[in-house]
């Protein structure tokens, strides 16, 4: 009876809320129409209200202000219209599901408890005075995530408010209909969470606002430290938390920060697509997204050939020769280390006094300023002036020199010839310019000479323009040569810096030389190269970005972190990752970005130990792959035991997998066949494509649809699927200890079912 009464009361509250939302939408739509009409009218009558008078300076001022006023009026109307459209969208979202929870809170010293309904946005009553629905990010809403009924508190404006939570209730409201409600006890409705986690996978990660767990809430709302490190096991919600955190920051700093001032650094474009719907679903604009290699590409792309992270990874994963593997790995590791950064800092100090390399300035095949002359000019300044500042002086000097050369060039024969070859258009352009300058008289005997001179000036100027542009962009600095010189054991500074170089320096030199001669910047060289370039040419910074989130942070090197820190000097950072999913070789032997020591005492670290993605059975198997005793706490969700199937050959492997996919397709929407490399994927694709409808995902895939997917493990990073089939987990395929985490990452992508196939003996990681 009591339940029935509560149900009716809640239905009534929902009805009232929906009516209010409906009313608000109508009201705003009416206003929006008004703003729109106003803007149209203003555009039509824009000049009616402006008297253009340019007779005196005062008249000009008056005209200017009149126009300015009209423009402001117009943009006010347009802004108000945009705001109205945005608000309608928010209310339309609320119409579907106005709120997902209610808590009743009796503040100490008060008589009546406050009923707090919590949804994805705030809803005020008709008079805009009382809150009918609280935004989940409001300080008071935090109690929903942090407490069970009983003593509770929240912080607002630096003050801690205490009281008692009398009720905690959850609702499932779909299409404006109350479908169920339940009062919760210990944690945020395990039942509701279980329901959500048991659903099928999606092409996009979902918002989790209704079921954020207390430990996740702490991370989402943490604002005190410059660097927040989040280390969480596979499936613990790091990505989900990162996205809700962006939404929280946008709410909390709504007057100071906009979405385009927040940057999420992601592993690849596929991942970008996977996460890009959460913020819009929460009514916020999306943050910016960038992969590290995209940034490198922007800086170096056109001048060099770049090695992509996946290429480096594939190269190592397919290296059969152990000795080669070790050499490559040690080179990659060293280049990612802070020891190498230290060596580079010493190198830059050395270059401050000698050794910088420049390029000759060549015009029409002739060296007009030699590299030697540039070097002498550069080193004529005292070394107390920084390298970038001295380069600015050199730049100015070179531009002056170019002006002199330009003048001298005008009387040369080639210019005369070029003048003859000019077309009509060039002639008439120069004619009108001379007329405009007033130096063309139409009857003077030297008009012809003047015209020729003018044309010569133009021709020479045009030819010098690219050179001037290059000088302005400091292209006369031979940055590739300077980087290459570091790896030259015959160079004069080798002896000076030798004590800082590792034992295998010779290998490093050889390997790097081979690449750089081909103008190939290997992935391990990208961050050091940019670092050196900035030290020499001047630091490039982006001060607009206020917060950087690095997801899958275990796969970035300390050197890359340095580059990012210098690029975003004003930004706070949230660094999220899992050491057990380290797959990129440059991080194997270096301190992890999850290590607070890297941040000079400015970092706070939070840990997530519970995994929400996979069933208990899958977590039990995948935890065993980590043979270091680490504990992964499973959310209590059951499913079938993962299976390990040994087959004698590839033919049978493919047959068994096809059968399995056909069975799984009847109950799941997203089934992933995960291979070790792209090469393996391509071979498997050829065998499967005629028998099942399968999407091959490669490094360049930007989006996937629900269905059957075939992909290498590194592309599955960060993503999840209903069922995962590991293609060939044989001892031969996954043999190196350094591939353990790679294999673990692949297996932990499974939400509901995991199938492992192996041709003959299975990898020792599963034993």
Residue 748 as a binder of ligand ATP (CB under 6 A): the answer is: yes
Which residue's CB atom is positioned nearest to ligand ATP?
Answer: 237
HSE-CB of 761 using CA atoms within 13 angstroms: 8
The whole-angstrom separation of Cα 180 and Cα 193 is: 14
Count CB neighbours of 202 within 10 A: 14
The whole-angstrom separation of Cα 184 and Cα 172 is: 13
**What residues between 181 and 240 interact with ligand ATP by CB under 6 A?**
193, 196-197, 205-206, 208, 211-213, 216, 232, 234-240
- Cβ proximity to ligand ATP: between 283 and 579 the closer is 579
User: Rounded to a whole number, what is the largest CA-CA distance in the chain?
Assistant: 111
Q: Which residue has the tokens 């490669």?
A: 698
Q: Is 235 annotated as belonging to a binding site?
A: yes
- Cβ proximity to ligand ATP: between 511 and 637 the closer is 637
- Cβ proximity to ligand ATP: between 213 and 763 the closer is 213
Quick one: which of 630, 631, 636 has its CA closest to 616?
636
**Cβ atoms of residues 721 and 709 within 8 Å:** yes
- φ/ψ region of 523 (left if φ > 0, alpha if ψ in -120 to 50, else beta) reads alpha
Q: Is 700 annotated as belonging to a binding site?
A: no
Q: What are the C-alpha distances in Å from 542 to residues 126, 295, 489, 530, 557?
A: 43, 12, 36, 15, 20
> CB of residue 169 vs ligand ATP: minimum separation in angstroms?
17
Helix (H, G, I), strand (E, B) or coil at 616: helix
**What would the 3-class secondary structure string for 286-334 be?**
CCEEECHHHHHHHHHCCCCEECCHHHHHHHHHCCCCHHHHHHHHHHHHH
- Cβ proximity to ligand ATP: between 560 and 622 the closer is 622
Q: Is 355 annotated as belonging to a binding site?
A: no
> CB of residue 623 vs ligand ATP: minimum separation in angstroms?
13
The whole-angstrom separation of Cα 299 and Cα 282 is: 34
Tokens of 360: 């000759």
Q: Is 201 annotated as belonging to a binding site?
A: no
546 to 585: interface string for ligand ATP, x by CB under 6 A: --------------------------------x--x----
- Cβ proximity to ligand ATP: between 213 and 485 the closer is 213
605 to 624: interface string for ligand ATP, x by CB under 6 A: -------xx-----------
Binding-site member from 215, 231, 720, 753 for ligand ATP (CB under 6 A): 720
> CB of residue 621 vs ligand ATP: minimum separation in angstroms?
15
> CB of residue 555 vs ligand ATP: minimum separation in angstroms?
11
- Supply φ then ψ for residue 70, to 5 degrees: -60, -45
**What residues between 428 and 487 interact with ligand ATP by CB under 6 A?**
none
Tokens of 115: 């009923």
Q: Is 236 annotated as belonging to a binding site?
A: yes
> CB of residue 756 vs ligand ATP: minimum separation in angstroms?
18
Q: Is 238 annotated as belonging to a binding site?
A: yes
The whole-angstrom separation of Cα 279 and Cα 706 is: 21
- Cβ proximity to ligand ATP: between 123 and 228 the closer is 228
> CB of residue 236 vs ligand ATP: minimum separation in angstroms?
4
**Cβ atoms of residues 675 and 729 within 8 Å:** no
> CB of residue 526 vs ligand ATP: minimum separation in angstroms?
24
> CB of residue 199 vs ligand ATP: minimum separation in angstroms?
9
Q: What are the C-alpha distances in Å from 762 to residues 644, 646, 647?
A: 8, 7, 10
Q: Is 232 annotated as belonging to a binding site?
A: yes
- Cβ proximity to ligand ATP: between 199 and 441 the closer is 199
Binding-site residues from annotation: 232-239
Binding site for ligand ATP (CB under 6 A): 193, 196-197, 205-206, 208, 211-213, 216, 232, 234-240, 578, 581, 612-613, 718, 720, 748
Binding-site residues from annotation for ATP: 232-239
């Amino acid at each position: 009876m009591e339940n029935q009464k509560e149900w009716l009361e809640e239905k009534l509250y929902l009805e009232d809320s929906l009516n209010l939302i409906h009313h608000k939408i109508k009201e705003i739509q009416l206003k929006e129409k008004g703003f729109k009409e106003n803007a149209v009218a203003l555009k039509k009558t824009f000049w009616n209200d402006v008297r253009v008078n340019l007779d005196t300076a005062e008249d000009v001022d008056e005209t200017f202000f009149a126009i300015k006023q009209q423009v402001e009026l117009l943009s006010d109307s347009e802004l108000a219209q945009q705001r109205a459209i945005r608000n309608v969208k928010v209310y339309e979202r609320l119409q579907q599901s106005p709120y997902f929870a209610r808590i009743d809170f009796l503040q100490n010293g008060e008589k009546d408890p406050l009923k707090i309904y919590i949804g994805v946005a705030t809803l005020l009553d008709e008079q805009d005075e009382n809150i009918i629905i609280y935004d989940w990010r409001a300080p008071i809403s935090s109690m929903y995530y942090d407490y069970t009924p009983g003593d509770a508190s929240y912080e607002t404006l630096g003050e801690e408010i205490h009281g008692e939570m009398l009720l905690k209730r959850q609702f499932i409201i779909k299409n404006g209909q109350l479908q169920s409600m339940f009062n919760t006890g210990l944690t945020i409705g395990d039942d509701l969470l279980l329901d959500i986690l048991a659903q099928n996978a999606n092409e996009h990660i979902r918002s989790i606002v209704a079921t954020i767990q207390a430990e996740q809430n702490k991370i989402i709302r943490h604002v005190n430290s410059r660097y927040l490190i989040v280390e969480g096991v596979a499936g613990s919600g790091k990505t989900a938390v990162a996205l809700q955190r962006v939404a929280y920051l946008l709410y909390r700093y709504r007057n100071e920060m906009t979405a385009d001032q927040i940057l999420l650094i992601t592993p690849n474009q596929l991942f970008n697509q996977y996460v890009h719907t959460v913020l819009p679903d929460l009514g916020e604009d999306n943050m910016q997204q960038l992969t590290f290699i995209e940034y490198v590409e922007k800086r170096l792309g056109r001048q060099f050939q770049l090695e992509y992270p996946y290429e480096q990874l594939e190269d190592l994963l397919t290296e059969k020769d152990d000795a080669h593997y070790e050499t490559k790995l040690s080179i990659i590791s060293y280049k990612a280390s802070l020891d190498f950064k230290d060596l580079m800092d010493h190198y830059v100090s050395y270059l401050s006094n000698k050794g910088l390399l420049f390029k000759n300035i060549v015009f029409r095949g002739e060296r007009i300023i030699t590299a030697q002359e540039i070097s002498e000019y550069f080193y004529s300044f005292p070394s107390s002036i920084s390298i970038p500042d001295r380069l600015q002086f050199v730049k100015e000097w070179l531009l002056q020199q170019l002006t002199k050369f330009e003048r001298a060039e005008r009387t040369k024969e080639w210019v005369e010839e070029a003048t003859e070859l000019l077309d009509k258009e060039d002639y008439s352009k120069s004619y009108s310019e001379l007329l405009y300058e007033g130096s063309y008289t139409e009857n003077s005997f030297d008009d012809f000479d003047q015209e020729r001179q003018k044309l010569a000036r133009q021709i020479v100027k045009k030819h010098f323009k690219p050179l001037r542009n290059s000088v302005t962009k400091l292209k006369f600095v031979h940055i590739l040569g300077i980087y290459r010189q570091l790896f030259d054991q015959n160079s004069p500074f080798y002896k000076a810096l030798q004590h800082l170089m590792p034992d295998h320096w010779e290998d490093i030199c050889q390997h790097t030389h081979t690449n750089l001669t081909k103008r190939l910047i290997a992935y391990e060289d990208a961050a050091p190269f940019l670092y050196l370039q900035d030290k020499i040419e001047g630091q490039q910074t982006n001060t607009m970005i206020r917060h950087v989130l690095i997801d899958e942070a275990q796969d970035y090197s300390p050197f890359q972190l340095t580059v990012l820190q210098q690029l975003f000097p004003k930004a706070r950072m949230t660094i999220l990752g899992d050491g057990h999913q380290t797959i990129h070789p440059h991080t194997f032997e270096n301190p992890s970005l999850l290590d607070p020591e890297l941040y000079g005492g400015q970092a706070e670290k939070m840990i997530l130990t519970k995994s929400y993605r996979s069933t208990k059975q899958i977590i039990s198997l995948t935890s065993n792959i980590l043979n270091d005793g680490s504990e992964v706490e499973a959310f209590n969700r059951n499913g079938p035991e993962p299976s390990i199937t040994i087959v004698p050959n590839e033919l049978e492997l493919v047959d068994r997998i096809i059968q399995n996919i056909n069975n799984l397709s009847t109950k799941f929407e997203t089934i992933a066949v995960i291979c070790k490399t792209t090469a393996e994927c391509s071979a498997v694709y050829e065998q499967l494509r005629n028998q099942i409808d399968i999407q091959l995902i490669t490094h360049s895939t930007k989006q996937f649809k629900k269905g059957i997917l075939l992909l290498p493990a590194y592309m599955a990073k960060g993503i999840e699927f209903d069922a995962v089939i590991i293609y060939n987990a044989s001892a031969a395929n996954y043999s190196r200890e350094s591939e353990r985490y790679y294999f673990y990452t692949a297996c932990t992508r499974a939400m509901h079912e995991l199938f492992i196939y192996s041709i003959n003996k299975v990898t020792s990681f599963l034993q």
